[in-house]
Amino acid sequence: MTELFILFLILTVILAGIFAPRWRKRLILARPFPPEWQTIVERRLPFFPKLSAGEQQQLRDNIRLFVTDKQFHGCGGLEINDDIRITIATEACLLLMNRKTGVYPRLKHILVYPHAFRTSHEHRNADGTVSSAGRGLLGESWHFGKVILSWDDVEYGVRNLHDGHNVVLHEFSHQLDSESGSTNGAPLLHTNSYATWASVLSREFEQLNQDFAHHHHAVMDYYGATNPAEFFAVATETFFEKPQQLQTKHPELFEVLKTYYAVDPGRWA
């Protein structure tokens, strides 16, 4: 009898671990979407009415899950409020629509500074010594569950939706990239998509490097020529903010990103 009771307890714990997250998600999504949040979403995404009814609901649902599960931390004297939370959540969740994926499951903390912040990185010199150098950043994405953002630059990104520069889209594309286990410009894809992805993005990455070397005009920011991970992030910014130009100048890259993100931002323009 004791053994049966112990087995019952073990099964109860296992089932609770399986079903608790589902029930929690249902409870979160059962709550009405606050009208003040809706106002922020529509102000930050002027094209929100152009989304289908299903996409609008997906975005609202993901925003609720995002805000509930992530911890926001104000840094440098910045006080976190709903405008900050919902603005960042809205832009980040734009990358998740129509895709069967979690809401950045590894991400736990979002640190927001009022302005561009400085960070220190170690650099190994040619002689074997290690030096530390500081640099100003608009945003940074860390592998172990953390994103850092400058609120000034977040606001700049949402006020200028067609310039190809958006720090939230950039840093959260790095989060998607890291879900594969390493940040290398290849996020989790369908098994039969990797060959096409590698072929197109490597070719486009090389082209951007050539444009940079010869001072040619490019649709994408030259920062994308830094490495494949930054190329994916910059390409994501361009895809969402300059879709028509990207489709005209780089049709193969546009189609690969359109397949991955399962949306066509050109119809929102």
Domain layout of the chain by residue ranges: 35-160, 180-269
Q: Is the pLDDT of residue 122 over 70?
A: no
Q: Is the dihedral of CA 160, 164, 165, 166 positive or negative?
A: positive
The CA distance from 194 to 113, in Å, is 36
Q: Is the pLDDT of residue 196 over 50?
A: yes
How many CB atoms lie under 10 A from the CB of residue 123?
9
For domain 35-160, give the CATH superfamily: Glucose-regulated metallo-peptidase M90, N-terminal domain (1.10.472.150)
- Enter the CATH code of domain 180-269: 3.40.390.10
- Mean pLDDT over 170-191 rounds to 90
The pLDDT of residue 119 is: 55
Q: Is the pLDDT of residue 132 over 60?
A: no
The pLDDT of residue 193 is: 86
* Global confidence as pTM: 0.84
Q: Which residues contact 92 (CB under 8 A, 6 or more apart)?
A: 66, 104, 168, 172
The CA distance from 31 to 147, in Å, is 27
The pLDDT of residue 21 is: 64
Q: Is the pLDDT of residue 143 over 50?
A: yes
Strands (E), the chain: 71-74, 109-113, 117-124, 130-137, 139-142, 146-150
pLDDT band at 120, cuts 50/70/90? Answer: very low
Q: Is the pLDDT of residue 33 over 70?
A: yes
Do the domains at 35-160 and 180-269 have one common CATH topology? Answer: no
Q: Is the dihedral of CA 245, 247, 253, 258 positive or negative?
A: positive
The pLDDT of residue 135 is: 42
Reduced to 3 states (helix: H, G, I; strand: E, B; else coil), residue 137 is strand
